[in-house]
């Protein structure tokens, strides 16, 4: 089976040609954020950071893997992104804010395509989008309106992280900069929310199962069975 055949049979082939997956309905992320903010304490904000890109040698890096929580809440699958949620912000436009690494045609050529502000709205459904260099200024202004902040710590019982993550660095910096603010953990809220799947998620999971089935059935046509029953 060549790639042209695979492309016709499996839409997710797009992931092998630059796209990781087809665009997911932004209604899912809008609903996820609404559900999360409904459980936040009054006058509190929450911040979610992307994962780092990890180096493996002088000029080589591992493939980027997005932090699952910011992906769950925004659909943004890009490094150096920050999501800020503040339901009680004085200005309604600051209740959902996304910060992205700035892009242009030159960056697109040398580093690959990045999200524009317009494209970020199409993906996440967030209208207020700033470039990352504006984060400190906007964050300081919003923290003056807040009394507490939710930090996104890793609370999984099997976690054994030895490296300092981008989230860890943000938490350490923010605690030092705003020692008078109360803080809480966002992870317990997310664990409760993510344990119940939305119909959109169930549809996506079923599609993934269907693609996997097609792959196994197609491969089985080329398998041979030895006399001892082992297939190869």
Which tens digit of pLDDT belongs to each residue from 132-188? 999 999 999 999 999 999 999 887 777 777 788 899 999 999 999 999 999 999 999
The reply to whether 87 falls in a domain is yes
| Total domains present in the chain | 1
DSSP for residue 38: T
pLDDT value at residue 229: 64
**Residue linked to tokens 């493939």:** 63
pTM: 0.82
Taking each helix axis from N to C end, the angle separating 187-194 and 26-37, rounded to the nearest 10 degrees, works out to 130
Which residues of the chain fall below pLDDT 50? 1-19
The reply to whether 171 falls in a domain is yes
Could you give the percent of the chain with pLDDT greater than 70? 88
The reply to whether 221 falls in a domain is no
The reply to whether 142 falls in a domain is yes
Q: Tokens representing 217? A: 């059935």
Which range marks the domain in which residue 155 is found? 27-195
The reply to whether 72 falls in a domain is yes
Q: Report the CATH number that the domain containing residue 179 is assigned in CATH.
A: 3.40.350.10
- CA–CA distance from 90 to each of 84, 177, 205 (Å)? 14, 22, 38
The reply to whether 76 falls in a domain is yes
Q: Is 46 in a helix, a strand, or coil? A: strand
The reply to whether 77 falls in a domain is yes
Query: Reduced to 3 DSSP states, what percent helix, strand and coil does the chain have, rounded to the nearest 5?
Result: 45, 15, 40
pLDDT value at residue 3: 38
The reply to whether 43 falls in a domain is yes
């Amino acid at each position: 089976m060549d790639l042209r055949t695979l492309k016709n049979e499996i839409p997710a082939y797009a992931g092998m040609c630059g796209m990781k997956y087809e665009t997911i309905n932004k209604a899912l992320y809008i609903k996820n954020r609404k559900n999360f903010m409904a459980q936040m304490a009054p006058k509190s904000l929450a911040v979610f950071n992307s994962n780092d890109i990890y180096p493996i040698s002088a000029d080589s890096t591992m493939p980027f893997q997005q932090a699952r929580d910011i992906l769950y809440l925004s659909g943004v699958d890009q490094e150096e992104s920050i999501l800020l949620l503040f339901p009680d912000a004085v200005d309604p436009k600051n209740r959902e804010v996304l910060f992205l690494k700035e892009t242009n045609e030159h960056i697109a050529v040398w580093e690959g395509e990045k999200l524009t502000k317009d494209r970020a709205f199409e993906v996440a459904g967030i209208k207020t989008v700033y470039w990352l260099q504006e984060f400190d200024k906007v964050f300081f202004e919003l923290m003056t309106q807040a009394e507490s902040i939710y930090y996104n710590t890793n609370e999984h019982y099997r976690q054994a992280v030895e490296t300092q993550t981008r989230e860890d660095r943000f938490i350490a910096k923010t605690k030092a900069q705003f020692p008078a603010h109360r803080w809480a953990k966002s992870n317990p809220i997310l664990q409760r929310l993510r344990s119940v799947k939305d119909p959109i998620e169930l549809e996506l999971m079923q599609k993934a199962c269907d693609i996997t089935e097609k792959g196994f059935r197609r491969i089985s046509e080329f398998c041979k069975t030895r006399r001892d029953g082992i297939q190869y």
